[in-house]
Amino acid sequence: MKLTSKQRAYLKSLANSIDPILQVGKSSLTPEFTASVDDAFNTRELLKINVLKNCIDDPRQIAEAVAERTHSTVVQVIGKKIILYKPDKKNPKIVLPKA
């Protein structure tokens, strides 16, 4: 899914108020971590992930890999924080501004 700058800004503003619910640690991307991200998308559409200091991988590469595996969209990678968006197919809660 391709986001416009207006949609991306809207999602960033929503993400400001949420706390990271997942953390990428020393073992980096494991199948279990990807499964937990996918599972988290069952209950919410916007996720914030924290990359810990002991993780040697680049947060941008981690974000792209997780987004590809979970069929989500990278909203922003800032420092060690990743914001991902995946709309709910049946009952979307977040209404994006028009493109």
Q: pTM of the entire structure?
A: 0.92
73-78 and 81-85 strand pairing? antiparallel
SS3 assignment for 20-39: CCEEECCCCCCHHHHHHHHH
What CATH class is the domain 5-85?
alpha beta
Per residue in 2-27, pLDDT tens? Answer: 899 999 999 999 999 999 999 999 98
46 forms beta bridges with 85
Residue-wise pLDDT tens digits, 72-89 = 999 999 999 999 999 988
**Dist CA 78 CA 57 (whole Å):** 14
